[in-house]
Structure 1
Amino acid sequence: MHLLFATSIVPDGALASGYEIANAAIIAALRRAGARVTVIGFSWPGKEPVDPENTIVLGALDVRTENASSRRKLVWVAKAMLSGLTFASVKLRAVPDSEVLAAIGRAGPFDGYVLNSVQFAGAFEKLFDGRPSIFVAHNVEHRSAQENAAAAGSIFQRFLFRREARLLKTMEERLCRRARFVFTLAEEDRAALGVAVGDRSTVLPLVTFKQAPKQRGPRQIDCDAALIGTWTWQPNRIGLDWFLEKVVPRLRPDFRVKIAGSVPSGVASTHPGVKFVGRVPDAEAFVRSAAVIPLISTAGSGVQLKTIETFELGLPSVATSRSLRGIDHRPANCVVTDDPVAFAGALEAAAADVRDVDGSAFHRRQVKALDTAIRHGLEKLGPVRREVFA
């Protein structure tokens, strides 16, 4: 079986975001199931695809809103209003339909599409009717847009997010209705997308490592807690705001918190132990240097890959209930609470008595369940003809 994996940004091997980590895990699982996978989409400027022989690049494109100039953002908003597309999809309309169709033709004979999230599929929706498809819903995007609207700081932002939510809801309904099968990353997302009834969908349990991380010797701890993420993404920003405003003020003044990743302007903390360290060269080394990992999601849908990574590494954690969505098993060294006072107390207790566990069993359980779910979805497209690779 030959599948065309249609996505906004093609994998370049960097795995710099949760979206890219999830894509790598899904593509690897499709190939383990015996499918040949050709990826089509845009690349980041200056980046090359990690698998060029099985990748079709439509051009280089930076779709990050935070990197765009004010003029560029206004152009995107104007195009979205005129075209009826979402803001996220209109950013991908950098090439005409004819170029995308020509690129699809270069992929050669294939059996079906894997439409990876709504952004690319929504930008070129009419082009994917000629073959059966599987839709991968990384999130319930219209729910996230609704939450973003509620948290927006201006009337204009609320208007834009509410418009996104309305358009995304109808787009997700269409993609799910047309798909032979739907993959979600959390159980509750199946009901939210209306595909929980009957044999229409299943959850993809994900991993962040190709192989189970090996247990190392005692860790060198240089801070009490560490967080890393793309904080410019609004659902992550909502969780970070909750942590800084509700939890951090309840921590001891000498409790050391390091926060890595791109942080929007205006995000700050008066707590003397909080440090914003920006981009770090080794994300795994960064989190392993902390006594405990706060898992702080309070908004969004889909799965929290930072939670999965923490469990794979066997690190102690304190998590909100939303951080555990899409995850069936919680290790013994994870404390769950949504109460800020209890959250702060649990962080201090975990940092005072560091207890790592072996995360390899969690990793193996996730891989086995992922492969089972992928095979089940592929059956809806037809029998898998195992490809022979040189």
Structure 2
Amino acid sequence: MHLVFATSIVPCGAPETGYEIANAAVLGALARAGVRVTVMGFAWPGKQPAGPHETVLLGHVDVTTEGAPALRKVGWAATALASGLTFASAKLRVTGEREVAKALQSIGPFDGIILNSVQIAGAFEELLTSRPFAYVAHNVEHRSARENAAAASGRLARHMFEREAELLAALEARLCRKARFVYTFAEEDAAALGVAGKGLTAVLPLVTRAAIPDATAPHTPQYDAVLIGTWTWAPNRIGLDWFLNEVVPLLPEDFSIAIAGRAPDGLAGAHPRVCFAGRVEDAAAFMCDGKVVPLVSRAGTGVQLKTIEAFELGLPCVATSHALRGVAERPSNCAVADDAESFARTLVEARDASWPRLDGTAFHAAQQAALDANLKLGLAALGNDRAGAAA
């Protein structure tokens, strides 16, 4: 079987963001299933595809909104409004439909398309949904957009998120209706997208790495708590703001906290008692530098990959209920707390009692086995159309 994996950002080296980590997990499962995959999409500016011979590049684009020049944001908004596209899909219209059609033709015969998330699907919907396809719903995007609108501080931002939510709800409904199969990363998302129980969907439990690092080597944590993530992404930012503004003030002064990952400008200055480490080379090593990992998600859909990574590494955690979505089994060294007072109290308990690190290999193996099995359900649905699908 030969499939086209259509994605906004193609693999360009070691995955860094949650989106890239999820993509790597799905592509790894496709490889283990023996599927020939041609990846088609965009690369980050200045980067090249990790697998150039298996990639068709549509161009280079920076899809991050935080830190983008004002003129670029205005251009994205103008494209979105003029074309009726979502803001996220408008960012990808640096290439036209004719070029994308030529790219598909250059790939040669293939059996179907895997539409990897809603952004590229929305940018070139008519073209990419004209062939048999499976849809990978990383999130319930319209629900996330509504949460972002509710959390927005300005009227313009609130209006833009409300517009995104309306367009995304219609787009996601069309994709789910036309798809041969729909993959989600959490059971709750299948229900929210209206595809649960119809026999044409499966949950893909994710992994964040091919193998688990050795947890037996002695290591002395440098901080009481560490967090890592892409904090410029609005749903992640909602959880981080809750932690910084409501939980941190309740912690003892000697409770040390380090936060890694891309963060909005000015955040470090507003929270001087927290160490903001920026981008780190080794996310796993950084996470192991904390006695406990706070999992602070309070918005968004899909699965929290930092939750998966913490469980793979066997690290002690305190998690909100929302951070555990899409996880079938919670390890014994992970406690749940949803209000600021109990979250802060449990963090201190975890530090003072030196909660143990567990062996996460069984968790990782179970996730990967379920990922491989469930992925094949969608491949079978696409395979049923192979006779008429070859391009």
TM bucket normalised to smaller: over 0.9
Amino acid at match of 2:238: I
SS at match of 1:380: helix
Instruction: Quote the offset at 1:281 in angstroms.
Output: 2.1
- 2:128 matches 1:131: no
Corresponding position of 2:208: 208
Contact 2:10 2:39 in 1 (8 A): yes
Unaligned runs of 5+ in 2: 387-391
Amino acid at match of 2:260: A
Corresponding position of 1:333: 333
Corresponding position of 1:307: 307
Contact 1:253 1:272 in 2 (8 A): no
Work out the CA distance in 1 between the residues paired with 2:122 and 2:55. Answer: 20
Q: Which runs of structure 2 are paired with 1:333-372 in the superposition (5 Å)?
A: 333-352=333-352, 353-372=354-373
Work out the CA distance in 1 between the residues paired with 2:168 and 2:345. Answer: 39
Instruction: Quote the offset at 1:266 in angstroms.
Output: 4.0
Distance 1:270 1:66, change over 3 A: closer
Corresponding position of 2:223: 223
- 2:76 matches 1:67: no
Work out the CA distance in 1 between the residues paired with 2:16 and 2:365. Answer: 23
Work out the CA distance in 2 between the residues paired with 1:171 and 1:121. Answer: 9
Q: Which runs of structure 2 are paired with 1:232-311 in the superposition (5 Å)?
A: 232-268=232-268, 273-311=273-311
Corresponding position of 1:388: none
RMSD, aligned α-carbons = 1.4
Contact 1:254 1:273 in 2 (8 A): no
Instruction: Point out the more displaced range, 66-75 or 263-272.
Output: 263-272
Q: Which runs of structure 2 are paired with 1:363-382 in the superposition (5 Å)?
A: 363-382=364-383
Distance 1:101 1:217, change over 3 A: same
Instruction: Quote the offset at 1:144 in angstroms.
Output: 0.3
Instruction: Quote the offset at 1:351 in angstroms.
Output: 1.4
Q: Which runs of structure 2 are paired with 1:31-70 in the superposition (5 Å)?
A: 31-70=31-70
Contact 1:35 1:384 in 2 (8 A): no
Contact 1:231 1:240 in 2 (8 A): yes
Corresponding position of 1:164: 164
SS at match of 1:126: helix
Work out the CA distance in 2 between the residues paired with 1:87 and 1:292. Answer: 37
Instruction: Quote the offset at 1:108 in angstroms.
Output: 1.0
Work out the CA distance in 2 between the residues paired with 1:129 and 1:362. Answer: 36
Contact 2:132 2:385 in 1 (8 A): no
Contact 1:231 1:264 in 2 (8 A): yes
Work out the CA distance in 1 between the residues paired with 2:270 and 2:126. Answer: 51
Instruction: Quote the offset at 1:216 in angstroms.
Output: 2.9
Work out the CA distance in 2 between the residues paired with 1:347 and 1:41. Answer: 42
Contact 1:259 1:277 in 2 (8 A): yes
Instruction: Quote the offset at 1:79 in angstroms.
Output: 1.3
SS at match of 2:382: coil
Instruction: Point out the more displaced range, 325-334 or 216-225.
Output: 216-225
Instruction: Quote the offset at 1:218 in angstroms.
Output: 2.1
Amino acid at match of 1:361: A
Amino acid at match of 1:381: L
Number of matched pairs: 385
Distance 1:384 1:331, change over 3 A: farther
Work out the CA distance in 2 between the residues paired with 1:149 and 1:272. Answer: 28
